A = this chain, B = another copy of it.
Amino acid sequence: MTSREFLKVRPVKDVQDFIAALEPLGTEVISLENAHGRVVAETVIARDPVPHFRRATMDGYAVRSRDVFGASESLPAFLSIVGSVEMGKPSACTVGTNEACAIPTGGALPDGADAVVMVEHTERLDETTIEVYKPVAPGENVLGVGDDIPEGEQILQPGRALKPQDLGVLAAVGVTEVEVYKRPKVAIISTGDEIVPSKTPSPLPPGLIRDINTHVLASMVSEAGAVVGRKELIKDDPDALIDISRKCLEDHDVVLLSGGSSVGSRDYTLDVLEQLPDAEVLVHGVAMRPGKPTILGRSGKRYVWGLPGQPSSASMVMVAMVCPFLRALQGERPTFPYAAGTIIGRLCKPIPSVHGREDYIPVRVLDEDQVEPIFGKSGMIKTLAMADGYIIVPEHAEGMDTGEEVKVYLF
C-alpha cells in the first residue's frame, strides 16, 4: 500500500494548452437532418444567392418608384393594376409607367418594378385602379438578389458547432450534406474491487458500493458531443484491465479509466498504459484539486485518460479537462475554464487557503447571486449533485473571504 513514486505534476494550463492544440479526428459527410450540434469541417460557400430573385417583403403593389414620387394624401398617384403576382411563381406581368401589380409578401417582383408600396398606403378605387398616398424609394420593401446571402459568400467556417439557425442557412442555399468532424467514440471502464453494478439490489454487504462513475461519465461524454461505446466494470486485476483496454482501443478513439490513477498498490492505470502498443504518457499528475492523480496517455492515435475513482473528483476532472478534450477532437476550439455559461456572484462563506495548485470548488448559486461553496468529506457524491457550477481558486491565492466577488463557471 505504501509503494509510492513521484507524481510529475503538471500545471492545469499545460494540459489546457495541449488540448487546445489537438488535431481533430477525421471528417465525414452527413445529411442536414443529422447535423445539429456537429462541428463543420469545411468552409461552406453559398453557391446560389439568397434570395435568388427580387422578393417583396410586404403585401402591396409592385411599382416603379418614380411613378409615386411625391405622392401624398392630398396628391395621390393613380396607377393602373396590370396583374397580380402569385406566390411561388415567376411574375407573368411587366410593370410599365403608371402601372402596378398586386404582390404578396415573398412574391417575385415583376419586371419593370423597382419597389413595393405597402397595401396600407394605397386605396383601391375599382378593379383596375389604385391611389397611392406615400412615395417609396427604389428598392423599398424589396429584398434584392443576394441581399440576404450574396452568391459566393462564405457562410460557415470550420470549427463552428451547428446551431438550429445555421441549419436554416444551409437549407436556404441548398446545402443538404455537410462535412463535419467525426465524433470520438469513447469506452468507459470503471475499476475497483469494491464496485458492483448499480442495479445490484439492497442490502449490499459492507465494503461494496454501487457503480456511479459509469453513469456520470457516460452522460457527460454524450453532453460533450461524443459517442459512448463500451461500458465495462472490472475488478482491480492488471491483466484483465490491460486486456479490456487493448480491446477497447481497437475500435474506440478514447478510453476513460476511472479508479486506479492515484499512487498505491491498487493503481494500475500507468501499468496498463505502458503495456499498450506505441504507448506514451503525456500527463501524469495535474496541479489541481480534486484531480491531482489524473493521467493522460496515448496509444498510437488513440487516447487513454486515467481518472480518479471518486465520483466527485472524476466529474470535476471531466469538466476541467476531458469534456473540452472531447470537443477539441471534434474540431471545436474549447475555451477554458470550460462552462455552459458564467455568472458573477459573491461568496457567502469563506474558502480556506490552498497553495501550489488550482482548487476547483463546487458551488451552489443562491438568491441574489450569493455563491455558496459546497464542502464535504472526500468521496461524497452528493456534494457535486448539489452544485450549479464551480469556482477556481488560483494556484497562489491565500483562500477567499466571505463577500468576495467570484466568477462561477456553470455546469
List A residues at the B interface (Cβ < 8 Å). Answer: 1-2, 32-33, 36, 47-48, 50-53, 55, 57-59, 85-91, 102, 104-108, 119, 124, 143, 147-149, 155, 163-174, 176, 192-195, 198-220, 222-223, 236, 264-266, 309, 311, 315, 340-343, 376-382, 384-385, 387, 410-411
Chosen A-B contacts, 17 in total, with CB atoms closer than 8 Å, are A48-B204, A88-B192, A89-B193, A89-B207, A90-B207, A106-B209, A143-B379, A163-B385, A164-B215, A165-B315, A167-B215, A171-B211, A171-B214, A171-B216, A174-B201, A174-B202, A341-B342
Distance in Å from the Cβ of A139 to the closest Cβ of chain B? 10
How far is B107's CA from A199's CA once the two chains are assembled, in angstroms? 21
Residue of B nearest to A199 (CB): B176
Interchain CB contact under 8 A, A193 and B57: no
Interchain CB contact under 8 A, B411 and A163: yes
Contacts of A200 in B (CB 8 A): 174
How far is B217's CA from A33's CA once the two chains are assembled, in angstroms? 11
In the complex where A147-B377, A194-B87, A379-B106 touch, is A168 in contact with B264 (Cβ < 8 A)?
Answer: no
How far is B27's CA from A286's CA once the two chains are assembled, in angstroms? 44
Residue of B nearest to A145 (CB): B206
Residue of B nearest to A140 (CB): B377
In the complex where A102-B1, A119-B1, A384-B165 touch, is A32 in contact with B193 (Cβ < 8 A)?
Answer: no
Interface residue from B104, B172, B201 paired with A209 (Cβ < 8 Å): B172
Among A169, A218, A222, A265, chain B packs the most CB atoms within 10 A around the CB of A169
Among A57, A155, A165, A171, chain B packs the most CB atoms within 10 A around the CB of A165
Interface residue from B169, B216, B222, B342 paired with A381 (Cβ < 8 Å): B169
How far is B205's CA from A164's CA once the two chains are assembled, in angstroms? 26
In the complex where A32-B198, A200-B174 touch, is A88 in contact with B207 (Cβ < 8 A)?
Answer: yes
Interface residue from B194, B343, B376, B382 paired with A88 (Cβ < 8 Å): B194
The complex is assembled from copies of this chain, and their number is 2
Interchain CB contact under 8 A, B215 and A264: no
Distance in Å from the Cβ of A74 to the closest Cβ of chain B? 23
Contacts of A91 in B (CB 8 A): 206-207
User: A87-B194, A88-B208, A341-B410 given. 4 additional CB < 8 A pairs?
Assistant: A1-B119, A148-B381, A149-B381, A172-B381
In the complex where A193-B88, A198-B174 touch, is A207 in contact with B378 (Cβ < 8 A)?
Answer: no
**In the complex, the 10 A-B pairs of residues with the closest C-beta atoms, listed nearest first:** A341-B341, A88-B194, A53-B206, A171-B198, A88-B193, A36-B219, A164-B219, A108-B207, A168-B216, A167-B215
Contacts of A315 in B (CB 8 A): 164-165, 168
How far is B33's CA from A343's CA once the two chains are assembled, in angstroms? 31
Residue of B nearest to A48 (CB): B202
In the complex where A264-B104, A379-B143 touch, is A168 in contact with B384 (Cβ < 8 A)?
Answer: yes
In the complex where A193-B88, A207-B53 touch, is A2 in contact with B119 (Cβ < 8 A)?
Answer: yes
How far is B124's CA from A247's CA once the two chains are assembled, in angstroms? 41
In the complex where A1-B104, A222-B36, A341-B410 touch, is A204 in contact with B172 (Cβ < 8 A)?
Answer: no
Residue of B nearest to A264 (CB): B59
Contacts of A163 in B (CB 8 A): 219, 385, 411
